[in-house]
Structure 1
Amino acid sequence: MGFTYQQQGKPSPARDVSSCTSAKPDLIQNVHYFDICRDKSAPVVKLKPSLLEKNREKRQEVERRKGSSHRFLQTGMVLLENHIIRSDQIKIVKKCRELGIGLGGFYIPGYDSGSKLQLRMMCLGKNWEPQSKEYVDVRSVDGAKAPIIPEEFKKLAEEAIQYSHELLIKEKYKIENVKEILPLMHPDICIVNFYTQSGKLGLHQDRDESPESLHKRLPVVSFSIGDDAEFLYGDDRDVDKAKKVTLKSGDVLIFGGESRHIFHGVSSIIPNSAPKYLSDDANLRPGRINLTFRQY
C-alpha cells in the first residue's frame, strides 16, 4: 500500500525477527505497537465509589446472573445480548493485548491517499489489506504475518452459532431449515478492531472473503468488549435509512444467510459505558474491542 505509520502506546519488547522471512526489520524498528491496556506502572487515581455507583453495580450483577437474552433483528441476523460471560471477556482482553503488542499487532490502517481509518486493527489467521481489499499472508505495512486465532476464540464463535440454531428451533423452525437461515461457519480469520472513545467506522459490506464463502453466505460473528457502540445496519449505504442497535460488552452479533451482505458500521462509541471489571481486572483502556470472525 506504500504507507507508513506511527502510533501512540508503548513499543513492544524487542523481538527476534530473523526467523520471520517476511518481516521487514527496517520498518519494524519504527513501529510502536498499540497497547489496548493501561500501563500498570503508571499512577492511577481511583475515587471511592459512591453509594449510587455501588447500587448500580449490584443491579447490573443481578441482571447478568439472569443470563443472556436474544433478539432476531432480521432473517439471518441474531443479537445474543450479554452472551459472553465476565471471565471470558477478561480473558479475551488479556489475549488480545498479548497478541496486539507483538509482531503483527495493532496498527492504524490507511490508504495510499493518506486517509486512515478511525480505529486500530489487528488481523488473525490472514491479514486484510484496506487498499487492495484482499486477504494476504503478510501485511504490506511491515511484512508481518498474522498471528493465529486462539482456539478458545474459535470455540466461542462456533458455540454462538450453535446456540443461535437452538433459539431458531425454539421459534418453531425445523432443524433442516436453521442452517439455511444461518449457515454453520468454522472461523479461520478474524479482524480485531480497537475503537477509542472517538472511534467510528463507515457503512460497508464484508465481501472480501473467498467466492465459496460468500456464495454459501457463511456468517460473520462479532464480539463486543468494552464501551457500548451504536451499530448501524441496512440494505443500502445510506446512514439516514440505516437501523440502529446498541452493542454492549459481552454481546455477540451474528449475520449470515440473507443478511450476509448487509451494509453495517459503527456511528459512535458511548464513553465510560464499559463494565468496571474490564478496567479493574483486565486494565482495558477506555474504548471498545470488536472481534469479527469469518471463514475465508
Structure 2
Amino acid sequence: MTVHQPIHPAEKRPLTIRLATPRGFCAGVDRAIQIVERAIEKYGAPVYVRHEIVHNRHVVERLKAMGAVFVKELDDCPDDRPVVFSAHGVPKSVPETAKKREMLYLDATCPLVSKVHVEAERHFAAGRHIILIGHAGHPEVVGTMGQLPVGAISLIETVEDAEAFERPGDQPLAYATQTTLSVDDTAEILAALKRRFPELPDPHKEDICYATTNRQEAVKRLGEGCELVLVVGSKNSSNSVRLVEVAMKAGARDARLVDDASHVDWAWLDGVSTLGITAGASAPEKLIVELIDAVRERFDAEVVEDSGARETVTFKLPRVLTA
C-alpha cells in the first residue's frame, strides 16, 4: 500500500478552477428522483423502479439504501408493490402491461421526453415516416420507438446513416431527436438529411432539451480556456459523455469523465494551470463539491464560477404523490 505524505500548503502550486454554470441536475432528473423518494415515503419500502431512474451510480445507490429496488422489466416486479418508470421514458407496452396487472405505477418520464413522444404520434397520425436521431439501445430511444408500431420510425445515429437512409415508399418525412445529444453533431446529421430531403419539416420546437443545450454551451466556454475539463457523471449517461466530446471539440487539451473524485488520476493535472469542472444533468452537486475539495487538498486552487444560463424550469410531481 502506498502511503502519501501530506502536502504542506507552501508546496501547493496555484491552480484556477473554472466551474461551469449551469451544471448537474436538471428539472427532469430532479422530478424523477423526487418521485422515487416520495413513493417510498408514501407507500413504504420496497418501491420497484424499472431501469435506473437516472443514469448516475451515486443516485441509484442512495435510493437503493432508502428502499428502492431496481429491475430490468415488469416481470421482475410483484403485482402488489408500486413501480416507477425511469426518466428516460418507456415503450407504450409497459404501462399497458402494468394496467392489465392492476399495478400501481408512477411515470417519472421527463416531460421533455414525453413531448417527443407526442410529436412522434402526431407525425404518425398525419401519415409521415419518422426519422429519429439518437443512439441505438439507449433507454430513451427504445421508449420513443416503442410509442409506435414497428417500422414507423427509422433510427439515424450518424451522418453516414443519414446519407444511406432510404425513404420508405413515397411517405412524407418528419424527424425527432433524442433529448441528450450533442447539439453540433445533431446539426451535422440534420444538414445531411435536409440536403437529401429538402421538404423535411422542422419540429415545432427543438427536441434536444434546454438542460442539454445549456450544459453544452457552458462546457464550450470551459473548453476554450482550460487545459483539462473534468465532467462528473456516469459512463452510461449520454449527456455526460457528450460534454466530454464537446469540451474537446471546443479546444480543451484533455477532457475526462469521472464518477467522482476517487476516479481522478492526478497525473492528468500535470502542467495544468486552468481546470474546468462541470457535471452531467444526472450528477448531484455534492459530487462537484467533493471534487473541488479533493483538488484543493493538492493545489492552491482558486474557484471562479463561469457565468451562464440560469435555469428556473420546474416540473410538477404526479398528483397521487402530492395529494
TM-score (norm 2): 0.22
Report 1 or 2 for greater relative contact order, CA contacts < 8 Å, sequence distance ≥ 6. 2
TM-score (norm 1): 0.24
In proportion to residue count, which structure has more helix?
Answer: 2
In proportion to residue count, which structure has more strand?
Answer: 1
